[in-house]
Amino acid sequence: MRGLDGKVAVVTGGAQGIGRAVVDRLVHEGVAVTIADAHPEFGPSAAAEVTAAGGTAWHALTDVSDEEQVAAAVEGTVRRHGRVDFLVNCAAVFIMRGVNATVDEWRRSNDVNIMGQALCVKHVVPHMADRGGAIVNIASISGHIAQPDYVVYNAAKAAVANMTRCMALDLADRKIRVNAVNPGTVWNANNERFHRDVLGMTRENAEKDPEIGGRHMLKRVADPEEIAGPIAFLLSDDASFITGENLMIDGGYTAM
C-alpha cells in the first residue's frame, strides 16, 4: 500500500489479537512499530518476535488509562525514530455487563476504551502536526446495535465511533485523518477462550450457531488479519481522502 514504507506507528494493545495482527501487517509494509501494551510478558515477546523476523519494533509498557505511561510511550517512539506518523488504538477491556454494572466496572471500561484512546491521540498529535498523519480507532459493531447485557461495552464503543468523527473534524486542518473500524466477531485468543470455557464451543460450532456465525452474512467469524488489512489501508495514502469514517468489517452483520 502506498505511503506506509519507512513510516512510524504506535499500536496500542499490539501484543495480542487484532493489535498483534496490525503490528505484523504494518511491519510487513515497512513500518517501524511501537507496541504500546500493558502486558509485561506478551509485549516484550511480541517485539522480540518481530525483531527476530527482521522487522523494527519495541515494546513500551503502557496502560492507556495512565497518561504518564501514554506520554512515555510516545516520547520513546520519537526518541528512537524522530517522528510518529500513525496511531492505531487497539487497547481495550471487555467488560460485558448490563444495567447492574458496578461503578468500578463503568470506570474501568470508560477509562481504557474511551479516555485511553483519547489520551493516545492527544499525545501523538503534536508530533504529527507539522506533516500530517493518520489515526485508526477500534470501535465495534457493538457500538451501533443493541445486545443483551452488553450496556457497558456497547456504550463505550458507541462513544469511540462518535469521538472519531469529532476528532476527524478537529484535526482535518492539521492534515491528520482519523477513522474507526468496527469489527464483527473476531476469533482471537479471548474469544476462543470464551467460546471454549463458557459456551463449550469450538470455532466450527460457533460459526454454525445462528446467534454467532449465523448473525453475519458470510456465516462465519473473522480472523484478526482480516481486520488488520483494512486498518493498514486506512493508514495508507490509498485512503488519503477518507476521514471521519466508521468502516464496518463485520461480514455483513450490521446490514442484515
43-100 tens-digit pLDDT: 999 999 999 999 999 999 999 999 999 999 999 999 999 999 999 999 999 999 999 9
Question: Could you tell me the CA-to-CA distances from 25 to 20, 59, 139, 230 in Å, in that order?
Answer: 9, 17, 19, 10
Cell of 205: 460450532
Q: What is the mean pLDDT of residues 28-47?
A: 98
| Mean pLDDT value of segment 121-133 | 94
Dihedral angle, C-alpha 189, 224, 234, 126, nearest 10 °: 20
* pLDDT score for 194: 85
Q: Which residues is 30 bridged to in the sheet?
A: none
Among candidate residues 135, 20, 131, the one with its CA nearest the CA of residue 88: 135
The pTM of the full predicted model, rounded to 2 decimals, is 0.96
- Among 3.10.20.90, 3.40.50.720, 3.40.50.300, 1.10.10.10, name the CATH number for the domain at 8-186+223-255: 3.40.50.720
How sure is the predictor about 112, in pLDDT bands with cuts at 50, 70 and 90?
A: very high
The ranges assigned to domains in the chain are 8-186+223-255, 187-221
Q: What is the pLDDT of residues 177-199, one digit of tens each?
A: 999 999 999 999 888 998 999 89
Q: Mean pLDDT for the chain?
A: 97
pLDDT category at 130 given cuts 50, 70, 90 is: confident
Catalytic residues: 153
Q: How confident is the model at residue 127 (pLDDT cuts 50, 70, 90)?
A: very high
Residue 10 is predicted with a pLDDT of 98
Sheet holding 32-37, edge to edge: 57-61, 32-37, 8-12, 86-89, 133-138, 176-183, 246-249
